[in-house]
Amino acid sequence: MSTVFGTGFRSLLKREILRFVRRPRNTFLPPAITNILYFAVFGLVLGGRIDSIAGFPYILFILPGLVVLGAVSNSFENASFSIFHGRWNEYIHEILTSPLSYTSQVLAYVMAAALRGIVVGFIIVGVGVVFVPFAIPAGTVPVARPLYLVAFIVVITMLFASFGVLGGLWARDFDYLTVLTQFIIRPLTFFGGVFYSLSDIPGIFRTLSLLNPMVYMVNGVRYGFLGYTEVDANLSLAVLSGLTVAMLALDILLFRRGYGIIE
């Protein structure tokens, strides 16, 4: 453990964290503005016309889903851009030839990207706290099961950061990263129960929705916030954790083989 998380790992982790912390207008301001629009349009305007879902006001029901959307998108984008940018400008070779193990390299990229996703998630909660009082007189955002909330947030951001590493190695130009984000991640998220309950869609479509991994992520975070879920939270957490470990192992293997780096 001391070898994996040694000085080299901490230095790379710090560099990756500073890369997005030093540019808050590029990394933290856009998701804040985007979610202000989401809460204003979906939460207040549309939410005022929708009855409560599962006993929760609509704006409160969509809050966990918006946290997932922002957290996973930023985790993926941070890791994929960092890896691809290093390949594009060929400075990733210095990291590969350093005394750092491949495990340390991958974990540094993944943990930094996951941290960005978690910070964005907190920002979205902060935006939600501002808007929720307009719909809920009490003006409180409950956290019914904080341990589940923390566990799901950490797992899903680590998972998508791992996917981001894979995407950064696979991409041949910046358009590849755009395709992955706009045509795979966002559609899966929007059809993952962010803005609606699974019970509100017809039988066959509900069954098909259960094939979408985002459903389990959104419901897991919703369970942490509200104590409400439409899928088994424990099973979801176990499967997502296993998938995260598998993706990390794949990233380490690809780093070791030089996939996408050594031509």
The fraction of the chain above a pLDDT of 70, given in percent, is 93
Asked whether residue 263 is domain-assigned, the answer is no
Per-chain mean pLDDT for the chain: 87
Residue 139: pLDDT band with limits 50, 70, 90: very low
Where does residue 138 rank: exposed (0-12), middle (13-18), buried (19+ CB within 10 A)? exposed
Q: Tell me the residue range of the domain where 171 lies.
A: 7-257
Asked whether residue 166 is domain-assigned, the answer is yes
Separation between Cα atoms, residue 254 and residue 207, nearest integer Å: 34
Task: Please answer whether residues 33 and 48 qualify as being in contact, where contact means their C-beta atoms are separated by less than 8 angstroms.
Answer: no
Asked whether residue 212 is domain-assigned, the answer is yes
Residues whose CB is less than 8 angstroms from the CB of residue 201 and which lie 6 or more positions away in sequence, other chains included:
209
> How many structural domains comprise the chain?
1
> For residue range 214-248, what is the model confidence (pLDDT) as tens digits?
999 999 999 999 999 999 999 999 999 999 999 99
The pair of three-digit structure tokens given for residue 59, joined into one six-digit string:
């704006």
pLDDT at 45: 73
Task: Please answer whether residues 114 and 157 qualify as being in contact, where contact means their C-beta atoms are separated by less than 8 angstroms.
Answer: yes
> For residue range 170-209, what is the model confidence (pLDDT) as tens digits?
988 878 888 888 788 888 888 888 888 888 887 787 888 8
Task: Please answer whether residues 145 and 224 qualify as being in contact, where contact means their C-beta atoms are separated by less than 8 angstroms.
Answer: yes
Asked whether residue 119 is domain-assigned, the answer is yes
For 233-241, the CB contacts below 8 A with 24+ separation are 233/148, 236/152, 237/148, 237/151, 237/152, 237/155, 240/152, 240/155, 240/156, 240/159, 240/213, 240/216, 241/155
* Most confident listed range (21-25, 34-38, 109-113): 109-113
Asked whether residue 2 is domain-assigned, the answer is no
> For residue range 58-107, what is the model confidence (pLDDT) as tens digits?
888 889 999 999 999 999 999 999 999 888 887 888 887 788 889 999 99
Model pTM? Answer: 0.90
Asked whether residue 21 is domain-assigned, the answer is yes
Asked whether residue 1 is domain-assigned, the answer is no
**CA angle 134-136-138, nearest 5°?**
115
The fraction of the chain above a pLDDT of 90, given in percent, is 48
pLDDT over 80 (residue 48)? no
